[in-house]
Amino acid sequence: MSSRRGEPDLDLIHVSVASPAGAYTVGNAAFFRYIVRLAELGLALPNADQEALDVLAAIPHAFEGDDDAGPLSGSGWRLVPPRGHLDWATLEATPQRLRSAFERAHRILWANAARFSVSPRDIASIEEELDAVYGVIFRAEAGGHAVNISYTA
């Protein structure tokens, strides 16, 4: 479902993080808006921070092809297209690369939270969701597995 401007309805966003070591689905709009889509807020950032946000910005919508797709891979990550009609696109990353991207996004968001009027409720919910996502990432890292991530709306 989309908004009138063709953007996803943020109340219906689900970000799925999975590996053979476990999975978690984030259903929080603030997490999607301020962590996954942080690159779209137009911040001037050092290259390393921008590269981290670009990893998160590359997370594909599970059921939609993206004709304007950016890079298909980068350091420690790649986009995996669907293999069949019952499959969907995912971003596959090393746990270290994904953890680093989330940690940088977290730091950047808190440094700019007042600028973007992030509410205390959003801050608390983002912290909870990040803790759960880090749990999946840490288990994947301990098991030597890659992490797949996509979102649906």
Residue ranges per domain, the chain?
A: 11-152
What pLDDT does residue 120 have?
Answer: 92
What pLDDT does residue 153 have?
Answer: 77
- How far is it, in rounded angstroms, from Cα 23 to Cα 138? 11
For residue 8, pLDDT beyond 70:
no
φ/ψ of 73, rounded to 5, equals: -160, 165
**Global pTM?**
0.87
Element (H, E) at 22: strand 22-26
What pLDDT does residue 70 have?
Answer: 62
Q: For residue range 50-108, list pLDDT tens digits in order.
A: 999 999 999 998 777 655 556 688 889 999 988 888 888 899 999 999 999 999 999 99
C-alpha distances (whole Å) from 108 to each of 10, 28, 32, 87, 103 are 21, 19, 15, 33, 9
What pLDDT does residue 84 have?
Answer: 83
